[in-house]
A = this chain, B = another copy of it.
Amino acid sequence: MSERSKPSSERRKSPVEPENIQVEMCSIDLRLQILSQVPFFAGLTPKEIQDINSRFTEQGFGPGDTIIYAGDPAEHLYVVAAGKVKLLRHTLAGKDLLIDILTTGEFFGSLQALGDAEYPDTATAQTTVCTLVIGANKFRQVLEQYPGVTLRVLEITANRLKSAHEMLRQVSAYSVEHRIAYTLLKLAEKLGEEQETGLLIQAPLTRDDMAEMTGTTTETASRVLSQFQKEGLINSGRQWIAIADLDRLKEMVEE
């Protein structure tokens, strides 16, 4: 859809946009717009949104910054206003698990731990990121005041639960090849952007990230992706992947 004027020469330069966000970009006018786009605030009146907005503060992060640490007291809920956030869970062996890549309008933080006192996951900024922050107690007040919001948060959480189960099924029953194909589709669905090189996943994505999302090693992920490239399923380079043959990839996953 989005026409981008690039010559697309034979040089394999990363087509991923660097996300031109200044850290201080969460301007007041933008905040309202973003909050009204957040799935669980959609449907509220402008006045209500303004009310809710006033309870959030904002916070910016640079690429690589850690926003919350797993194990820290779960005191805040974050909404991604701009940029991409990696949500990951550590393992003892240092072999982390990349649970999700969050984008504008998605939340993370204290919610996963509603009944719990600590963040279960670590969140790091994958790009320059602007977040809206609210204290856990304040957010609870919002939920109590706007039952419709609670219901929508519940829906979202239920959906996340469903995809977690789906991923679980993938990891326990299917081959690495299958899982990578599946993960690519999911990523494309969420972050995909039509380009000359194919359906590009709009996020800096290393082989290591792919490995952590699919429960395998960097080397194996690299091998499989190289294979996919050879077969013409994808185009990829350093920190980017674009899907060249969506249909065939879907076939692989469904068979």
Contacts and interface: CB of A to CB of B under 8 A. Distances in A.
A93 B162 CA distance: 20
A171 B144 CA distance: 37
> This chain: how many copies in the complex?
2
A24 interface: no
A105 B193 CA distance: 45
Interface in A141-181: 143-144, 147, 150-151, 153-162, 164-169, 171-174
A15 interface: no
A contact residues, range: 35 or more
B157 A158 contact: yes
B89 A215 contact: no
Contact of A161 (B95, B157, B171): B157
A151 B144 contact: yes
Interface string A86-102: 00010111010101000
Contacts of A172: 95, 97, 171, 214-216
27 contacts: A91-B169, A91-B174, A93-B174, A97-B168, A99-B165, A111-B158, A112-B161, A113-B162, A114-B158, A114-B159, A115-B155, A115-B156, A115-B159, A116-B159, A116-B162, A120-B162, A120-B166, A140-B151, A143-B154, A144-B151, A161-B164, A164-B168, A167-B168, A168-B168, A168-B215, A172-B216, A173-B215
